[in-house]
Amino acid sequence: MKKLLAGLVTGLLMLGTAGVAKANLIVNGSFENPARTGNSWAVYTSIEGWATTSGPGIEIQKNVAGASYDGVQHVELDSHGNSAMRQYIDTVIGQSYNLTFAYSPRPGVSSGSNLIDVLWNTVSLTSGLGITGTGAANTVWRIMNFTVIGTGSNLGDSLVFMATGNNDSLGGYIDAVSLTPVPDPATMLLFGSGLIGLASALRRKIR
């Protein structure tokens, strides 16, 4: 019986923490919408969740020059030329968030063309992220992680991805963008206490 209760508490705790971790606030972070057909690409002024802030637009690729990290589509930031895209996210003032995304250089292209920058409320997080794709036959994805703070702005906090390398229509790839709240220690303690109380109640009921 003790093992059963311990397993129940552990399972509920894992479910609770997983629920917090999966609360992704980014809309269309894997760029699956609009869906492309076949092996193709297109440049858009805006897509679900994202809008162009500079340059020709947002290029969505599907199996054109390298595989996606999540799903079957990803964004190339240097479309017909260097471009930037932005999404506004509703946040809680003072709340910490985990910002993660997958980055890959375009295969066969030097680091000078693959440079990107990421800005949170106009503050640069990356200072020119660039990895060479020279010699690569496929994408080489890396997961980038940052901690950002919400402002609770009425407009929403601004997340921008922009190409900063050679303006040659060959640039870095972005996929699997995620923004999740960092669990507050006090909240997790309260959650754990609640689980212990639930387990105690169940034990008394089973007896």
DSSP string, the chain: -HHHHHHHHHHHHHHHHHHHHT----TTTT--SSPP-SSEEEEESEETTEEEEESS-EEEEESSSS--SSTT-EEESBSSSB-EEEEEE---TT-EEEEEEEEEPPTT--TTTS-EEEEETTEESSSSB----TT-SS---EEEEEEEE----SS-EEEEEEE-S-SSS---EEEEEEEEEPPPHHHHHHHHHHHHHHHHHHHHHH-
Q: Map out the domains of the chain with their CATH numbers.
A: 25-184 (2.60.120.260)
pLDDT bracket for residue 4 (50, 70, 90): very low
Global pTM reads 0.79
pLDDT tens-digit series, residues 64-99: 999 999 999 999 999 999 999 999 999 999 999 999
pLDDT tens-digit series, residues 128-154: 788 888 888 899 999 999 999 999 999
